[in-house]
């Protein structure tokens, strides 16, 4: 299966301070790939690099088989982009914006644009600058969907929007994805939304990639364990041990990743007993993952 986006060993340092370091990302064709991370972790910068708006110091970026930023115009004809902030001319009406956009994309689907206008309940004659935040977001996603691209890149598309607008946007997005088989690269910190729609997830922190795994693996593999009688030092574990804290006088709470039910057999082997396995939702798992990633880096151990 080919990857629609492939980033290899990317380094980007715009100036003093923040930098993207050794970033490697692979977005498979047809996947809905979620990009999670705290603010300032480099999500928007990564998106800008993927769209050819920035040039990296080193590393390769391949989008839809072509190199970025060298082949940018060729690639951008097949990529629909929804930025975080409205980027369209506020003095143009919605109809004028649609007409403008249509002129640049040979794959433009006018019928879909009209249908989405109706679905989103937008008035084509209103000035873009006069629309509410939610309506602006709808227009931007409309432009990206009517373009019929094979890849959609969305930077926090539903951030700050009310739940009704968020539903409308997600529904239109998923309908498009089902019909077109397009891949989606979506960055967000709305974990619950990501949890529903993404089949792959990557986590960023401070310019580095923490992990890149299929969604099920992250969700199902991350657990909170109640363990009693474990020794202070441990050898290698079959799962990833993120954290270990005392819970009651007798037992500890362990946060682990990559857990499989068979691993319960590990505990008698070290003279401990596994009392409980508690599921963690993505948000908790995400928090634990970050905590262990940061802790591991500061201690200098894996």
Partner 1 sequence: MFEHIDPRSSTPLYAQIAARFRVAIAAGELRTAALLPSVRELAARLRVNPATIAQAYRELEAEGFVEIRHGAGTYVRELAPGRRTRERARQAKALAERVLADARRTGVTLEELREAIDGVLGAKTT
Partner 2 sequence: MFRVMLYTQWKWSRLIILLGTVAAFALPIISMQGAAHAERNPLEAQDLLRTVQSWGTLYPVLAAALGLFVAMAAWAPDHRGRHVHALTLPLPRWRYMLLRCASGAVLLAIPAAAVLAGALLATATATLPPGLQSYPFALATHFVLATAVAYGVFFAVSAATARTAGIILAAVGALIAVQVVAGVANVNFDIVSPLTMIVLGPAGPFAIFTGRWMLVDV
Interacting residues toward partner 1 by CB under 8 A: 32, 167, 170-172, 174-175, 177-179, 192-193, 195-199, 216, 219-220, 279, 281-283
Considering CB distances under 5 to 8 angstroms, the limit depending on partner class, which of partner 1, partner 2, none binds residue 22?
none
CB closer to partner 1, 133 vs 167 = 167
Considering CB distances under 5 to 8 angstroms, the limit depending on partner class, which of partner 1, partner 2, none binds residue 57?
none
- Quickly count: other Cβ atoms within 10 Å of residue 276's Cβ: 11
Q: 4: which residues sit within 8 A by CB, 6+ positions away?
A: 27, 28, 29, 31, 63, 64, 150, 151, 183, 185
CB closer to partner 1, 80 vs 285 = 285
Q: Within the chain, where are the H helices?
A: 43-50, 72-76, 94-102, 110-119, 133-146, 163-180, 191-197, 215-221, 266-269, 282-299
Q: Please, what is the minimum distance in Å from the beta carbon of residue 34 to partner 2?
A: 21
Q: 298: which residues sit within 8 A by CB, 6+ positions away?
A: none
| DSSP label at residue 239 | S
Q: Please, what is the minimum distance in Å from the beta carbon of residue 129 to partner 1?
A: 29
CB closer to partner 1, 206 vs 288 = 288
Binding site for partner 2 (CB under 8 A): 51-53, 72-77, 81, 83, 86-92, 96, 99-100, 103-105
Q: Please, what is the minimum distance in Å from the beta carbon of residue 263 to partner 1?
A: 16
On whether the CB atoms of residues 99 and 93 are closer than 8 A, the answer is no
Considering CB distances under 5 to 8 angstroms, the limit depending on partner class, which of partner 2, partner 1, none binds residue 260?
none
CB closer to partner 1, 24 vs 115 = 115
On whether the CB atoms of residues 32 and 65 are closer than 8 A, the answer is no
Q: 110: which residues sit within 8 A by CB, 6+ positions away?
A: 102, 146
> Of all residues in the chain, what percent are helix, strand and coil, respectively (each to 5)?
35, 30, 35
Considering CB distances under 5 to 8 angstroms, the limit depending on partner class, which of partner 2, partner 1, none binds residue 172?
partner 1
List the beta bridge partners of residue 184. 32, 152
Considering CB distances under 5 to 8 angstroms, the limit depending on partner class, which of partner 2, partner 1, none binds residue 70?
none
CB closer to partner 1, 51 vs 202 = 202
């Amino acid at each position: 299966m080919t990857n629609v986006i492939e980033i290899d060993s990317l380094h980007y340092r715009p100036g003093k301070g923040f930098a993207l370091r050794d970033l490697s990302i692979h977005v498979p064709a047809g996947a809905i790939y979620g990009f999670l991370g705290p603010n300032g972790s480099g999500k928007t910068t990564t998106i800008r690099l993927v769209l050819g708006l920035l040039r990296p110091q080193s590393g390769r970026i391949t989008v839809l088989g072509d190199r970025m930023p060298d082949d940018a115009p060729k690639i951008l004809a097949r990529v629909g982009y929804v930025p975080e902030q409205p980027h369209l001319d506020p003095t143009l009406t919605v109809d004028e914006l649609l007409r403008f956009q249509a002129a640049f994309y040979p794959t433009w689907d006018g019928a879909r644009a009209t249908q989405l206008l109706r679905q989103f309940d937008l008035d084509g004659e209103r000035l873009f600058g006069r629309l509410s935040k939610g309506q602006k977001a709808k227009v931007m996603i409309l432009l990206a969907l009517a373009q019929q691209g094979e890849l959609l890149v969305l930077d926090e598309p539903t951030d700050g929007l009310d739940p009704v607008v968020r539903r409308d946007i997600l529904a239109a997005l998923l309908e498009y994805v089902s019909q077109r088989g397009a891949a989606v690269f979506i960055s967000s910190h709305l974990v619950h939304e990501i949890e529903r729609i993404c089949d792959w997830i990557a986590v960023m922190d401070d310019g580095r990639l923490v992990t890149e795994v299929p969604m099920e693996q992250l969700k199902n593999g991350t657990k909170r364990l109640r363990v009693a009688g474990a020794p202070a030092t441990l050898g290698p574990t079959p799962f990833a041990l993120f954290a270990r804290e005392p819970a009651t006088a007798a037992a500890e709470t362990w946060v682990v990743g990559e857990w499989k039910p068979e691993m319960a057999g590990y505990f008698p082997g070290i003279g401990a007993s596994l009392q409980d396995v508690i599921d963690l939702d993505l948000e908790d798992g995400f928090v634990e993952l970050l905590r262990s990633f940061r802790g591991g880096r500061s201690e200098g151990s894996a």
